[in-house]
Structure 1
Amino acid sequence: MTLKGLFPSPTVAAYMARLFLVRTFGILGGLVLVLLTLNLLSESSKILAYHGNGQAEIWRYVSLRGPELIAFGLTYSVLPGTILTLMTMNQNSEIIALKASGMSAHQVLAPLIVASFGIAVLSFAFNDRIVSRAQATLDQWEKVGYGPLPIDRGDRTNVWVRDGDDLIEVDQVRGRGAGAVLGGVTLYDRAGGNLAGIIRAPRGRLAKNGWSIGPDATRFDVRAGTLTHLGTIVVGKGVRPDQLTLATVNADGLSFGALKAAIGDLSGAGRPTKALEGALWHKLSGPLSACLMPLLGAVAAFGIARSGKLFIRAVAGMMLGFAYFVADNFALAMGSLGAYPPFLAAWAPFLLFFLIGEAVLFRSEE
């Protein structure tokens, strides 16, 4: 179909797209304002509990939490934006006029689908460039109790690994692979399941036969209750660099490219990646779900408004849309458990509800 066949009247297409976008972003603004207010009511006391925090830290929290709420609400807002647009046009007999002019149901919805595709592209770029960075920073800020932010926003924090019976805790890991630098190393020396000693050092680096920590390493002997200064020692001889640098991969806190690279590193190290692969695919299918909403909400567009069933059709459209979000979250959860393949977990709900939307649209047109 040519562009002229898809949009017989550019004026009508621009009019419908404008109505749709104004309503969608209006609903988004109200939704984000409510969610952010509720979020601040629960978190502001925690932020102000840290000595020295004040209004500046509250606004910093808003700047970090706001992008996440915008990304969360954007796709959800497309559905009521679609239904409100189509209900208004139906009540004003505009849909009937368009159908009487010879336009098919797909041609009526085409401006909304194209506009929703633009929202999907905007959502992906916003998630990739802004939300992932804000989420990573906010996660680290929450881990330090809303105290001073870590210097490197790409650092891994609070990493735990096991070396035989011993447990190693690292407060902060900078860099990747062999170039990783450890900060705040604590080794819990265990013998037969009992804690024998605690070794602490301010920093560490990869050595030939393990991890060199120091130069001010100390050992606390639990049984004797004595503290010994060790200087620089080598620990974690069985700990690989990937165990530290890839111990915690937060898919929400990484961009599409960074997550893809992390999955490659994990796969090369022989680590499981199914849940992260599902999250990677969902970074594409999630924003693209905005294009489904005009199809699912189209039930409110067709039918005679005077029949008194317009409200019922609008509710049916809302139920279809929210059923998609339930199915999407369920599929992601099953993918994280390994019950679904990653690609299926991310794309199966999208394809299923696309077919449902098309079936409803064809039924409405008949």
Structure 2
Amino acid sequence: MQLDFFPSRTLTLYLAKMFVVRILAVLVMLVLVLMALDLLSATGEILTPEGNGQAEIIQYAGLRIPQLISRFLPYSVLLATLITLVTLNQNSEVVAMKAAGLSAHQVLAPLLLTSALVAVISFAFNERVVTRANATLKAWEAADYGPIPKASGTRSNVYLTDGENILTAATLSGDGEAITLSDVTWYSRAPGGIIREQINAQGAIYAAPGWKLTDPVRFDVGSAETQELPELVVGETLTPEQIDLQSVDPDAQSFWELSETIDAFEAAGRRTTEMRAKWWHRISGPLSALLMPLLGSVAAFGLARSGQLFVRAVIGMALGFAYFVVDNAALAMGSFGGYPPFLAAWAPFFLFLLLGETVLVRTEE
């Protein structure tokens, strides 16, 4: 029996190449199908603004494809694992490798190495491409697929509280006292959260103090009357610094930017549970690709002629998809404080790592 973790160089390259080709094939198939379904539902909204056409549809696809790749790359690794291992099993190549003295871990070693490289590439891709696509697409959606404000630092779906009152904005651009809000709504509420009046405005700028609304229109809930106002200043306790903190979108920030944002929130005494859980998940998420060969390995072993190969493949698929379900549930629990952030991001990874190792050792080693 060989004592090296990896089999021969030739066999390692053969398995790695086979695995990479199947990962890319499955990923392309998933992205194309999901992108087509997404366009069916989104094309009508994209073409609604005057002047939008084929170029805007292509632009939307260009922003959505990185998101789809990031989300479904681990699924692609899982499905590629099952396809690769089932093919090797059916062709009796696994039997030949084990007859040559390779252990189950040595058979899986090239796939694990490839998955580790995929995880590194996925992390870099998320940081350099996906975060920017998230920021641009959210700002574009907030502008109803019309022109995006040209100012720097554009963010979307801003939600701010001023005591009982609420200030929302479709987009925020600029920083400091040069912040500009667009498509603004101010909700004046009585104690207990009952809305007394709603004021809609095209935009708002900092008035030092407060925020001056552009062309405000007031709707009085009690009398159900609408009134146009010449000008109005609201949210006098809301400072640009508070808005900078409250309008942060973790999905649009890189790993290092999010780390700085968390430090700023903690210095201001603000809650950081959700952002810290997402910060940890920036690492554990891409690393989930490393688990897929281990969870799908049950499909590699056992004689193909025994008639249980399909059952083994289903078990491998079930283990892989169970990980994604548990991972999403744990991240959701961590976002609202049910789990500590570190536990929410890493517990599913280590749980299924141990589970996969246990199944592999008990059945094959």
Fold match by TM threshold 0.5 = yes
In structure 2, distance between residues paired with 1:219 and 1:307? 74
Letter in 2 for 1:90: N
TM-score, normalization: structure 1?
0.87
In structure 2, distance between residues paired with 1:188 and 1:48? 31
In structure 1, distance between residues paired with 2:181 and 2:273? 30
CA-CA distance at 1:82 after TM superposition? 0.8
Letter in 2 for 1:76: Y
Find the counterpart in structure 2 of residue 14 from structure 1. 13
Find the counterpart in structure 1 of residue 27 from structure 2. 28
CA-CA distance at 1:9 after TM superposition? 0.4
For the 8 Å contact 1:180–1:206, the answer to whether it is kept is no
Letter in 1 for 2:237: G
CA-CA distance at 1:339 after TM superposition? 1.0
Find the counterpart in structure 2 of residue 351 from structure 1. 350
1:182 to 180, 183, 195: 180
CA-CA distance at 1:250 after TM superposition? 2.5
In structure 1, distance between residues paired with 2:297 and 2:103? 13
Letter in 2 for 1:131: V
- The CA RMSD over aligned residues, in Å, is 2.9
For the 8 Å contact 1:163–1:236, the answer to whether it is kept is yes
SS at match of 1:5: coil
Matches within 5 A, 1:68-147: 68-147=67-146
Structure 1 residues 316, 169: closer, same or farther in 2, change over 3 A?
A: closer
In structure 2, distance between residues paired with 1:272 and 1:364? 46
CA-CA distance at 1:203 after TM superposition? 5.0
**Segment drifting more, 58-67 vs 153-162:** 153-162
In structure 2, distance between residues paired with 1:280 and 1:272? 14
SS at match of 1:49: coil
In structure 1, distance between residues paired with 2:304 and 2:230? 83
In structure 1, distance between residues paired with 2:197 and 2:239? 24
Find the counterpart in structure 2 of residue 325 from structure 1. 324
CA-CA distance at 1:212 after TM superposition? 6.7
For the 8 Å contact 1:141–1:150, the answer to whether it is kept is no
Find the counterpart in structure 1 of residue 268 from structure 2. 269
Deviations 1:24-47 (A, max 9, x none): 110111111100000011111111
In structure 1, distance between residues paired with 2:109 and 2:342? 28
For the 8 Å contact 2:215–2:228, the answer to whether it is kept is no
In structure 2, distance between residues paired with 1:194 and 1:39? 36
Structure 1 residues 181, 313: closer, same or farther in 2, change over 3 A?
A: same
For the 8 Å contact 1:189–1:199, the answer to whether it is kept is no
In structure 2, distance between residues paired with 1:111 and 1:213? 62
Equivalent residue pairs, number: 358
Structure 1 residues 220, 251: closer, same or farther in 2, change over 3 A?
A: closer
Letter in 2 for 1:69: L
CA-CA distance at 1:191 after TM superposition? 8.1
Deviations 1:60-103 (A, max 9, x none): 11001111111112110101111111111111111111111111
Find the counterpart in structure 1 of residue 205 from structure 2. 204
In structure 2, distance between residues paired with 1:159 and 1:12? 54
In structure 2, distance between residues paired with 1:66 and 1:239? 37
Structure 1 residues 239, 305: closer, same or farther in 2, change over 3 A?
A: same
1:44 and 2:32 are equivalent in the alignment: no
CA-CA distance at 1:121 after TM superposition? 0.6
Deviations 1:118-173 (A, max 9, x none): 10011111111111111111111111111112224632345343434654445543
CA-CA distance at 1:190 after TM superposition? 7.1
List runs of 5+ in structure 2 lacking aligned partners: none
For the 8 Å contact 1:175–1:245, the answer to whether it is kept is no
Identity percentage of aligned residues: 50
CA-CA distance at 1:226 after TM superposition? 7.7
In structure 2, distance between residues paired with 1:198 and 1:84? 57
In structure 2, distance between residues paired with 1:66 and 1:267? 34
1:365 and 2:353 are equivalent in the alignment: no
TM-score, normalization: structure 2?
0.87
Matches within 5 A, 1:234-273: 236-273=235-272
CA-CA distance at 1:174 after TM superposition? 3.3
Structure 1 residues 235, 73: closer, same or farther in 2, change over 3 A?
A: closer
Structure 1 residues 72, 186: closer, same or farther in 2, change over 3 A?
A: closer
SS at match of 1:277: helix
Letter in 1 for 2:114: A
List runs of 5+ in structure 1 lacking aligned partners: none
Letter in 2 for 1:97: A
